[in-house]
Structure 1
């Protein structure tokens, strides 16, 4: 997939304990983005934060939280990201979903690794 120039960044902020059919919500968002053919998705785990409930969640030892902030970031063309938004309507009950215009400067994956037979390694 080629991605360069104007794009849209979709950010989904939810809690680590949020679930969709007994699995983490962020996992479902990533898998649906993958099935939708989006360019990529990254999940980031926060160490501290609060949202609409105004309850602070933190990793600090004395107030260890089981519901840390989790952010899913997806970047693709505006049309592809906007086409994905109905999926989030179904999934995200609590949290924050934002869109920001951005510019993709570089989007490149790793080259597929070539398998070398064990007996060819030392030739």
Structure 2
């Protein structure tokens, strides 16, 4: 598991829910590529309303405009690892917005793969 604390980079890719890459949702492709690249983590957040460069507002409030809602893919890792991933986003994101900003990781702890089994120090997880 990656040990990530302190200064880091947050990459946010804002794309449309209906955007695809070879028949697969674009946000799914980004997450899977981030995983394959060994990045610390990625999460997808679905927006309820928004607009982008096209200036068309998409919202869950009106059925006629509820398609292609905004989706944010957020990835956090070291600056070097995030920047190394950027060429993949250049290939994938043809419409949307990609943002990089500095952040500070306070806590990064994964789930225990085998709950209830002793860890390296002999302690049992819950």
Give the match for residue 12 of structure 1: 13
Task: After TM superposition, list the pairs within 5 Å mapping 1:107-122 onto structure 2.
Answer: 107-114=108-115
- The structure with more radius of gyration: 1
For structure 2, the residue ranges without an aligned partner over 5 or more in a row are: 118-126
For structure 1, the residue ranges without an aligned partner over 5 or more in a row are: 117-123
Task: After TM superposition, list the pairs within 5 Å mapping 1:26-105 onto structure 2.
Answer: 26-105=27-106
TM-score, reference length from structure 2: 0.88
Q: Deviations over 1:53-103 (max 9, x none)?
A: 000000014444220000000000000000000000000000000000000
* RMSD between aligned residues: 1.4
Q: For residues 116 and 6 of structure 2, what CA distance do their matches in structure 1 show? A: 34
Query: Cα gap change, 1:62/1:16 in structure 2, threshold over 3 Å: closer, same or farther?
Result: closer
Secondary structure (helix, strand or coil) at the match of 1:100 reads strand
Shift of 1:21: 0.1
Q: For residues 41 and 29 of structure 1, what CA distance do their matches in structure 2 show? A: 9
Q: For residues 16 and 4 of structure 1, what CA distance do their matches in structure 2 show? A: 31
